[in-house]
């Protein structure tokens, strides 16, 4: 069984090697340094974390910080995929700020995690956070 699977795997690798077209990372955003764009993504991650706490998200998905961060990660990936598709259509792939940005996703998560840490440090319970955010949590 294992020998058949390994032979199939080797065959797939050989087929991909000879017939696949190289991508060369053209869909990735070439940003490698922390810039204004990443600060904007960090703010967007914090705002997304606040919005994920809202009543329009199922309670089982917003009851822990881990689940809220997972939602922020999923929304960040969806947005970056949309941005890469849009940049492909208008010819911005490979330019700074254009394409699928791994650093942008990391900045979104950093913003959301920073907000979660601040809520934990300052001990914002649901009642105090409701006053700050403007809608009822959980």
Q: Which of 67, 68, 79 is nearest to 41 (CA)?
A: 79
Question: d(Cα 110, Cα 63) in Å, to the nearest integer?
Answer: 19
pLDDT tens-digit readout, 53-98: 888 888 888 888 899 999 999 999 999 999 988 988 888 877 778 8
Q: Which of 24, 26, 25, 33 is nearest to 103 (CA)?
A: 33
Query: Cα 21–23–24 angle (5° rounding)?
Result: 130
Give the per-residue pLDDT at 87: 87
Q: Which of 48, 44, 41 is nearest to 104 (CA)?
A: 41
pLDDT tens-digit readout, 105-123: 999 999 999 998 888 887 7
Q: Do residues 44 and 13 make contact, with C-beta atoms less than 8 angstroms apart?
A: no
Rounded alpha-carbon distances, angstroms, from residue 35 to 16, 38, 90, 136: 37, 5, 23, 34
């Amino acid at each position: 069984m294992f020998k058949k699977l390994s032979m199939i795997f080797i065959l797939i690798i050989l087929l991909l090697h000879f017939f696949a077209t190289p991508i060369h990372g053209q869909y990735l955003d070439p940003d490698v340094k922390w810039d204004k764009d990443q600060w904007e993504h960090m703010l967007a991650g914090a705002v997304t974390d606040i919005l994920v706490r809202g009543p329009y998200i199922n309670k089982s998905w917003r009851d822990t910080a881990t689940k809220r961060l997972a939602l922020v990660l999923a929304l960040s990936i969806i947005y970056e995929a949309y941005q890469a598709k849009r940049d492909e259509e208008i010819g911005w792939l490979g330019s700074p700020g254009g394409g699928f940005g791994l650093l942008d996703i990391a900045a979104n998560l950093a913003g959301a995690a920073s907000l979660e840490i601040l809520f934990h440090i300052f001990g914002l319970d649901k009642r105090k956070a409701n006053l700050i955010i403007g809608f009822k949590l959980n």
